[in-house]
C-alpha cells in the first residue's frame, strides 16, 4: 500500500498474511523516486 507519493520520495506499507488470513508481519519502507 502506498501511503504517500511525493515528487522525490514514496512511503509504503506492507502486510504479510498467512494462508488462514492471519497477520504475520508488517513492514514499511521509503523509496527515492527518480
Q: 1-34 burial, b for 16+ CB within 10 Å, e for fewer?
A: eeeeeeeeeeeeeeeeeeeeeeeeeeeeeeeeee
Could you list the mean pLDDT of each consecutive 10-residue stretch along the chain, which spans 34 residues? 93 97 97 92
Q: Which three cell numbers stand for residue 19?
A: 494462508
Q: What is the pLDDT of residue 22?
A: 98
Domain holding 28, by residue range, is: 2-32
CB contact at 8 A, 26 and 6: no
The whole model's pTM is what? Answer: 0.66
Query: Considering its fold, how many domains does the chain have in total?
Result: 1
Q: What is the pLDDT of residue 34?
A: 85
Q: What is the pLDDT of residue 13?
A: 97
Amino acid at each position: 500500500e502506498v501511503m504517500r507519493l511525493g515528487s522525490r520520495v514514496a512511503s509504503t506499507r506492507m502486510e504479510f498474511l498467512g494462508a488462514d488470513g492471519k497477520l504475520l508481519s508488517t513492514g514499511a519502507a521509503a523509496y527515492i523516486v527518480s
